[in-house]
Amino acid sequence: MKIAFLSFYSGLLDRGVEAFVHELSNQLTSLGHKVTVYQTGPPVKGVKYKTVTVSIKVKFSSQGLLAAGINQVKDILAGREFAVKSLALVDSDTQIIIPTNNRWQGILSRLWATQHHAKMIISGHAGPGIDERIALWSFPDVFVPLSSFQRDWAKSANPFLKQLVKIPNGVDTGKFSPQAKPLEVHLPHPIILCVGAMWSWMKRQDLLIKAVSQLPMGSLLLVGEGEGKDQLQKLGDTYLKGRFKIISLPYDQMPKVYTACDLFTYPTSSWEAFGIVLLEAMASGLPVVANDDPIRREIVGDAGLFVDPTDIKAYAQAIEKALNTNWGDKPRRQAEKFSWDKIVKQYEGLFENL
């Protein structure tokens, strides 16, 4: 089959949706499908699929995020420009088109798919909210919720949508493994890890810093970029002097970060659609302390603990309990349920049915 992905930030940012596009595209290409990814950045390392870079005028902020991603109006306008330019380049015999950034991408891809007798699929990476409502009401041929909770929400958000097929995100269990050579981070153990964009309003790393400060020992490593990086650095220096660090690494270097640490925690907001980093951590053998919501419970299963991160005392206690628990191979076995080898077969079956 001939498949096209529209992924604005691919080649520029390494978030969950960009990892999804890269990994799924590679997997589908390995199965013999012709995959093209339209993006604003250059090709990323390890690509097997075809990359088309679409020229859009965007600027980086001093923190490394796109200015277009911070200013909502500019984001919407840049997204529309990207969608128009990308769709003009998509081969007319493409059978499956997958917009990944919603809003204009979904609306314009719907028109393109109808005109070219193709099928449009949207995977629910935005999470419950206005962006996903727009995606649902652009009437994709199939909407792919990443969890049971998101599936139920999508049904109520657009009861007229005919096909919803739940397929979670995946993880490369060969790349992310307990055997990966650890990165030297020069922090005292146990090292608590959190990976994600430096957006405290969503990822809530500020709560994590305060929780770790209540532990008698251990350090905190944050990995990522974002406009909140400077603020989090100051907060970490205040609460965790000598046992705190923020770093940023390209996606292909991430496996060795996980194996350098002892515990992964993810205090993200309940409306985040998934959290691929949870899978990467568990595949690397790390137990998890996650926000207590239906989505994170479905992902983590019995490989970690759940807590309300806004309760700093309870959060600290959950981290300490997780550090003192023998988890065995539960994290790894939980991650294997989401292996890309399994997930790509579900997508391939979906495409064939369409």
Domain 191-336 fold: Rossmann fold (3.40.50)
pLDDT of residue 112: 97
| 39 beta partners | 53
pLDDT of residue 62: 38
Structure tokens at 10: 């691919």
DSSP-derived secondary structure letter, 339: B
pLDDT of residue 58: 62
Rounded average pLDDT over 303-329: 97
Rounded average pLDDT over 228-255: 92
**In the chain, what are the domain boundaries?**
2-170+339-353, 191-336
Q: Which pLDDT band, with edges at 50, 70 and 90, does 12 fall under?
A: confident
pTM greater than 0.75: yes
- How much is the mean pLDDT over the chain? 91
Q: Which pLDDT band, with edges at 50, 70 and 90, does 74 fall under?
A: low
Print burial letters for 245-264: b (CB count within 10 Å at least 16), e (below 16). Answer: bbeeeebeebbebbbbbebb
- DSSP letters, 32-89, are T-EEEEEESSPPPTT--SEEEEPP----B-TTSSBHHHHSHHHHHHHHHHHHHHHHHH
Q: What is the pLDDT of residues 116-129, one digit of tens each?
A: 999 999 999 988 88
Rounded average pLDDT over 177-192: 95
Identical fold, 2-170+339-353 and 191-336 = yes
pLDDT of residue 64: 41
CATH class belonging to 2-170+339-353 = alpha beta
Task: Give the whole-angstrom CA distance, residue 265 versus residue 278.
Answer: 8
Rounded average pLDDT over 68-81: 60
pLDDT of residue 69: 43
State whether residue 194 is helix, strand or coil. strand
pLDDT of residue 75: 58
pLDDT at 70 over 70: no
